[in-house]
Amino acid sequence: MKIALIAHDRKKDLMVQMTTAYKEILTEHQLYATGTTGLRIQEATGLPVHRYKSGPLGGDQQIGAMISEDDLDMVIFLRDPLAAQPHEPDVTALIRLCDVYEIPLATNIGTAEILIRGLQAGFADFREIVHEMEHKPLSF
């Protein structure tokens, strides 16, 4: 599965802790992240991460484009609800796209942990099944 990992500045340490704790699960998936978050994850875990620009410079929108093309299966976005974000409209648009395209989304560590453990248990396999069905030729 393709998983996006995004974290606001005051949540980056928490993202690194989470990806370190669940490295064995995440290693089975393709990881995408915004700039600094992706770098921090790579340095701490050694996991391969495709890095986009930082969020305020368009990284959120790049991940949003993946969602709109149905090329992303899950988003973990550790948001800082107590800090104003200069790119808040981009954040809101990303969350909206997850709802429009029915992409599982976690915006806090509690939900993120449930999604990651759900990956391990196969609870998100429906995304792969849907993709297989879309690419299967119709037989009459």
Q: Identify the active-site residue in 9, 60, 80, 125.
A: 60
Nearest one of 105, 9, 99 to 54, comparing CA atoms: 9
42 vs 19: CA distance, rounded Å:
10
Positive or negative torsion for Cα 57, 49, 76, 128: positive
Residue 90 annotated in active site: no
Give the SS3 label for residue 51: strand
Nearest one of 83, 86, 66, 84 to 75, comparing CA atoms: 66
Give CA torsion, residues 118, 119, 122, 125, to 10 deg. 120
Residue numbers annotated as active site: 60
